[in-house]
Structure 1
């Protein structure tokens, strides 16, 4: 239980670091481009601690569910003719727009203030808004590199971990051998746990994938297998049986057909399982893993509403959740806790938590690039639209247009925020009531 709590807590500490780095990604370019930054805050709600350095207040708030920096003039000032609109009979959304304009106006320092976000060139505004997500991506790359090259990835070796006593059908739920079951070829040949396979039919093998491929492709053929046992080489003759085995995809999950029936194939089988070890990988493997995760997360993110709806259905019906579906921070914490409390070497558990945290940063990167306000992607779209309008005016020699007033989008932003809160609530509740377990139920 203590290990579970430690793993859960470590993930939240990692999340706080991820949020801090995200906001630094906005803060540094904003200050570099001269924008006045009033606050740099980790979390929301009441302030727990803060300290002012120069013109910026740095602090931590009570709810560690995000963060923000407060930049002067995120939007252009309220036009004088609209300064009094919104509060008298203007309706709920009109009042929201006016409140947003009033809050924005408070960050401006007079009509001649040049240190404001909306006055920056488009490319500088895009750089500031991209800075946060990019920091999450870079942090994920560092974590994956540390995981792959520093600790190593779990890799099946040519050392035998277990030897099956018999051969059973892939469709059978049988757990023990019966007298009618054929003896497994490896056991019949005298192969033992701890043997390290050196060569098959004179061909040297260095990894289990290569070993497994040679066995699968040789059903009914006698193979001369040399193993290392007790410091010496031992020769064995193994004849793989033709048997039906499940088909697995690249992620190790069983492939199923349209009727959700496991797909099988006929292959050679001798009945051994390999020992897995953490093996350091080349330095480029970490970044490669990060970008592969970006593609996988993006594939989930674009159908997020549907995935959350399906999660909500399982919450009501008690059905099994999609193991590749979305998680809340609570769910990620549960996974980290399970990893930390697993019966595995400490290095394997550290690697598991690093993997969860790296994947979480990939999710933050992709999620914040969704082109909707109040997310960073929404601010990028606003800046690009402003740039398109200005370019169009220059091409046709028209007067420069007024800056894009994104406060008009406050009603849309409000709807997006409500939807995000609702989806977050569903995921959190599902992760408490019907969590995804790393090791099954």
Structure 2
């Protein structure tokens, strides 16, 4: 029940995130004197809508509504491009007729809203629970090699075991630093634990660094019975490794110190999100392979389906700080992703405005008149190609999240 609640709550969080992103565009457009025709959350068939008259932009009606599939949304601003059909009374308030800086402000409105939402969430986490210290050393250094208990007592605890475990028999020692699992590089011990414990058949190949020398061993794992809260029992591979755990991993704050703490943490998290965004193309082949049974990389991209499932697991384990942190991370990812300078993303439209500005300045240097708004029809091949890539990528990741989801626990 807690899992289902968590999935539902995270799905609602995604819908609110998207709604606020579009609200950022709407608010900025109104402040810049542009006319907003429609504001909808979701896509597909309309569930309900209503219209409201606004005094700004010459007085106009804006239709607000909710569509059947809440994982999306749009803010329809009159004249976003010079090729968009507009009515005569809309032309003075069309987006393409406004100053270049006003158009950029509107295009950045959604990104700015995601940044604000993410920062508010992080501040809330800091005050309520504290923030993870991202500078803590999470190096997957082996602290011990031990036997593996493959059975459970009636109360769910592990039965005693004796002798050497699979890792010790393979020659691993305390002090070895794990660098890869089945060829997948690992940076921290939580990732290493997840990869080793993933549902897999056959041997597990571990690569370790021992005093500067790389060593790879193939280990036949033993399978441990794991009892879930619902009483079901599953079998997970184990090799008998205990990792060194960092101390002081949570920094605590009060209402005042949480302000700089949240800002510093945001900067650190932004760097991690940026690295994750850049790594997406290299992880796509692994996501495709996972659909057909290959091991899923825990650091691979997730869709809204996978993110909602992860939210469900976090609630099931009462990991509320990480639940809200995942939602903040989503907001920062959306902010950065929307800045990619390709249409139809916000960054693509911003790139066009900047191009117009540079082009017209160069023309003025040669005594030529400005050309005005760019012709978006020339960008249609790029827009359609990138849209197709996004759709295919979305379908692939959703499929992977359904048939081979990333499990946090």
Q: After TM superposition, is the score higher than 0.5?
A: yes
Query: What is the alpha-carbon distance in structure 2 between the residues aligned to residue 180 and residue 365 of structure 1?
Result: 50
2:82–2:375 Cα contact (<8 Å) kept: yes
1:122 is aligned to 2:122: no
Matches of 1:73 and 1:180, distance apart in 2: 71
- The partner residue of 2:80 within 54, 74, 80 is 74
Matching residue of 2:130? 152
Question: How far did residue 276 of structure 1 move?
Answer: 8.1
Q: Structure 1: where are the runs of 5+ without partners?
A: 78-103, 156-167, 182-241
In 1: Cα distance, 2:285 partner to 2:177 partner = 31
For the 8 Å contact 2:143–2:244, the answer to whether it is kept is: no
How far does residue 153 in structure 1 lie from its aligned partner after superposition? 3.7
After superposition, the Cα gap between the structure-2 partners of 1:113 and 1:129, relative to the gap in structure 1 and judged at 3 Å, is same
Aligned to 2:119: 141
Aligned to 2:359: 389
CA 1:116–1:251 in structure 2 vs 1: closer, same or farther (change >3 Å)? farther
Which residue pairs with 1:410 in the alignment?
A: 380
* CA distance in structure 2 between the aligned counterparts of 1:352 and 1:437, rounded to whole angstroms: 14
List per-residue Cα deviations over 1:146-180 (Å, max 9, x = no partner): 1123222468xxxxxxxxxxxx9845555567599
Match of residue 220 from structure 1:
none
Residue in structure 1 matched with residue 261 of structure 2 by the alignment:
285
When residues 275 and 3 of structure 1 are mapped into structure 2, their CA distance, relative to the original with a 3 A threshold, is: farther
SS in 1 for 2:340: coil
The match for 1:263 is: 209
> How many residue pairs are counted as aligned between the two chains?
326
Residues 1:57 and 2:63 are matched in the alignment: yes
Give yes or no for contact 1:170–1:246 (8 Å, CA) kept in 2: no
CA distance in 2 between counterparts of 1:359 and 1:333 reads 13
- 1:21 aligned onto 2:20: yes
Cα distance in 1 between the residues matched to 2:244 and 2:370: 73
In structure 2, relative to structure 1, the CA distance for the partners of 1:243 and 1:15 (3 Å cut) is closer
Q: Report the Cα distance in structure 2 between the residues aligned to 1:291 and 1:275, rounded to whole angstroms.
A: 22
Aligned positions of 1:299-310 closer than 5 A: 299-310=275-286
Unaligned runs of 5+ in 2: 54-60, 134-141, 150-159, 166-172, 180-186, 196-204, 213-242
Per-residue deviation, residues 375-425 of structure 1 (Å, max 9, x unmatched)? 111110011111111111222221121321113212221121111111001
Counterpart residue number, 1:244: 175
* 1:357 equivalent in structure 2: 327
* Residue of 265, 271, 293 corresponding to 1:295: 271
Q: What's 1:333 paired with?
A: 308
1:311 shift after superposition? 0.4
Write the distance in 2 (CA, Å) between the matches of 1:426 and 1:262: 32
**1:173 to 1:119, Cα distance in 2 relative to 1, 3 A:** farther
For residue 135 of structure 1, report the CA deviation from its aligned partner.
Answer: 0.9
The whole-number CA distance in structure 1 between the counterparts of 2:74 and 2:164 is 68
User: In structure 1, what is the equivalent of residue 56 of structure 2?
Assistant: none
Q: CA deviation at 1:113?
A: 2.2
With 126-135 and 400-409 compared, the bigger mean Cα shift is at 400-409
Query: TM-score with structure 1 length normalisation?
Result: 0.67
Residues 169, 304 of structure 1: alpha-carbon distance in 2 compared, 3 angstrom cutoff: closer
SS of corresponding position for 1:62 = strand
Match of 1:90 in 2: none
CA contact (8 A) 1:75 1:407 kept: no
Q: Shift in Å at residue 303 of structure 1?
A: 3.8
Q: 1:435 to 1:47 in 2, by over 3 A?
A: same
Q: 1:364 to 1:272 in 2, by over 3 A?
A: closer
The 1:401–1:278 alpha-carbon spacing in structure 2 relative to 1, beyond 3 Å, is closer
1:427 to 374, 397, 403: 397
Distance 1:56 1:33 in 2: 16
Structure 1 runs (4+) deviating above 6 angstroms are: 271-278
Distance of aligned partners of 1:274 and 1:130 in 2 relative to their CA distance in 1, 3 Å threshold? closer
Cα distance change on mapping 1:14 and 1:170 into 2, 3 Å:
same
TM-score by length of 2: 0.72
SS of aligned partner of 1:46: strand
Q: Contact conserved, 2:147 with 2:161, CA < 8 A, in 1?
A: no
How much does 1:373 deviate? 0.7
C-alpha RMSD of matched pairs (Å) = 3.1
Question: What is the distance in 2 between the residues matched to 1:135 and 1:356?
Answer: 17
Deviation at 1:331, TM superposition (A): 0.5
**Cα distance change, pair 169–59 in 1 and its aligned pair in 2 (3 A):** closer
Aligned twin of 1:30 = 29
SS of 2:296 mapped into structure 1: coil
Q: Is the 8 A contact 1:246 1:254 kept in 2?
A: no
Q: Contact 2:147–2:162 (CA<8 Å) still a contact in 1?
A: no
